[in-house]
Amino acid sequence: MTKEDMLAAARQKLKETGKSPVQIGNESRIAVLLWVYYWGYSTASLLLALLGRTAGGYAQRLEKKGLLKATKTVSGKPKEIYTLTQLGLELAEKHAHTQVPYPEIDPYRVNQDLIRHNSLAQQETISALGDGFIVDYKTEKFLALCGNTKGVKQVDVCWELNGFVYGVEVELSGKWGRKLDQFVHSTMQALRHDDVFGYDSIIIMSDSVSILHRYKAAFRPGTKLNIWVKDKRNHWVVDHQIEIPEWVHNLLQFELIK
């Protein structure tokens, strides 16, 4: 396809939307600012994927307009992350259906050790939205505003589709001992069962086959699970054991991130 053909196709697509280039530009800008607002930060490639674009430079253009700020990462992968400037924050808050705290106005408050983890959560959410698997999402920022029941796991992101609610957990490293037990127990408590409020399903995602196998084994029905409490000296001790019930396994999904 020639450059002229590509341009003609783009014009035809624009015509079919019934919107002017200005309208589409405004909608794209607000979509990006809200995405960064709710996630805290994002990357240039993720923002392009969000808009369904392939040509680069969009995040940089918003940076030049004073809406986004680029900050280099320590690892260099990605090269930089984008957060909102004060101007970008004001515009995002104007259009946000729910306002959330935004400490990332100081980009050095971003925990860079979690950039890859959070980027994968964003990547999978964009993919799920694009595939029509979900119609809405709620990030940790929003979920924290709703409060959290003691001992119940707060998921990395919540996905929604026609009243069905998924909790999504991105796990890039294995857990062992007490931490694994507590992860399994809090996940169980976060699932909807016998009309108890919770997630209809929890999806555990990882880019490692071996990590997924380990989590699957931990949730296998009949597996003994230690329940931990703190004693009078504030030390963790095993209080009792339970068996993983069948219904838990039926409400879990394990997905490999490719």
Query: Could you report the per-residue pLDDT of 201-236, keeping only the tens digit for each?
Result: 999 999 999 999 999 999 999 999 999 999 999 999
Name which of 91, 99, 200, 199 is nearest 142 in CA terms: 99
pLDDT of residue 149: 47
**Which one is the CATH code of 111-258: 2.30.110, 3.40.1350, 3.40.50, 2.60.40?**
3.40.1350
Contact 192, 236 (CB under 8 A): no
Contact 166, 159 (CB under 8 A): yes
What is the location of CATH 3.40.1350 in the chain?
111-258
15: its two tokens: 């015509």
What is the rounded radius of gyration, in angstroms, for the C-alpha atoms of the chain? 21
What is the location of CATH 1.10.10.10 in the chain?
1-110
54-76 average pLDDT score: 94
pTM of the predicted structure, to 2 decimals: 0.86
pLDDT of residue 151: 46
Confidence of residue 196 (pLDDT cuts 50, 70, 90): low
Query: Could you report the per-residue pLDDT of 139-186, keeping only the tens digit for each?
Result: 999 888 876 544 457 899 999 998 899 999 999 998 999 999 999 999
Query: Could you report the per-residue pLDDT of 80-115, keeping only the tens digit for each?
Result: 999 999 999 999 999 999 999 999 999 999 999 999
Query: Could you report the per-residue pLDDT of 12-57, keeping only the tens digit for each?
Result: 554 555 566 667 778 999 999 999 999 999 999 999 999 998 888 9
**Which one is the CATH code of 1-110: 3.30.56.10, 3.40.47.10, 1.10.10.10, 3.20.20.70?**
1.10.10.10
> Strand pairing partners for 161?
164
pLDDT of residue 152: 57
pLDDT of residue 222: 96
Between 11 and 60, name the one with better pLDDT.
60
pLDDT of residue 22: 66
